[in-house]
Amino acid sequence: MGTKQRCISIVVLCALCFQASWEVARSQANQTPAVVGTALDIPGVVKGGTKIERIKEGFNGLDDPIGLMDGTLVFSEPGARRLHRMDTRTLQSSVLVAESNESHGVTQDVMGRLISAQARDGSTRIGVIYPPGSEVVLADNFEGKPFSRPNDVIVARNGGVYFTDPGLTVQQAEELVKTQGGKPLAPRLPAAVYYIPPGKAALRIEEKLIRPNGIQLSRDEKTLYAGDSNGIHIIAWDIQPNGLVRNRRNFGTLEGRSTR
């Protein structure tokens, strides 16, 4: 193939790639909400029979949508290592962070910064990821060992951060072994819940959950909740003045559980 033909081929390929990307973006932007079910009654949260609408699709896995102080919605796309922001009035969305280090859970602190649980292997950490120029690692290890796979995160008003690290699923471990050419994985930290006091190192506050996942604070920030994807209970703790927890108890029972 001559130089001119190669140049033409490259131009055509670039044009096709641009068109494909534009078509995906256009389809995501112009999607019409579709009713996919109805909600059960949750007193104080949602009325039974409320329509559940699918408003966006076509992403490479989605996680942890949160409402921001300005009324917009942010959600993560771990498979594409991006964060998106959506206008909740128009349902139009755009990329907020183009390289999220495979962020999953996201939370917003009192200064308006976004803190995320970043799970890209070899760079696992909890850190500020937005706005640009404010990025900082809050914690990337426990007692010198890197986190396994941080998943969800919530920040308190005083800047303390709670997060879950469920570890790897069997499938995730197998995929990592393949990427390492069959080399066995090094020993990893067990599944756990952690607390990062403002300006200090991470502390492990729970290690008995099978696969800790979602995590949340009560509105008065006196209670911490965490789910266990492979267990049957949501766990609650009382938060002490120093940010640590006590009085562990079962808060709710889950119907059905993950087997991953």
In angstroms, rounded to a whole number, what is the distance separating the alpha carbons of residues 53 and 202?
Answer: 39
Each residue's pLDDT tens digit, 189-209? 999 999 999 999 999 999 999
In a domain, 135, yes or no: yes
In a domain, 47, yes or no: yes
Contact 154, 107 (CB under 8 A): yes
In a domain, 197, yes or no: yes
Which pair of structure tokens corresponds to residue 122?
């070899």
In a domain, 192, yes or no: yes
DSSP states along 131-186: STT--EEEE-EETTEEPS---EEEE-TTS-EEEEE----HHHHHHHHHHTTTPPPP
In a domain, 216, yes or no: yes
Contact 177, 188 (CB under 8 A): no
The Cβ of residue 126 has, within 10 Å, a number of other Cβ atoms equal to: 26
Q: What is the pTM of this model?
A: 0.84
Number of folded domains that form the chain: 1
Each residue's pLDDT tens digit, 55-114? 888 899 899 899 999 999 999 999 999 999 999 999 999 999 999 999 999 999 999 999
In a domain, 259, yes or no: no
In a domain, 21, yes or no: no
Helix (H) or strand (E) holding 13: helix 3-29
Domain hosting residue 74, numbered range: 41-253
CATH number, residue 79: 2.120.10.30
In a domain, 2, yes or no: no
Helix (H) or strand (E) holding 16: helix 3-29
Residue 188's pLDDT band (cuts 50, 70, 90): confident
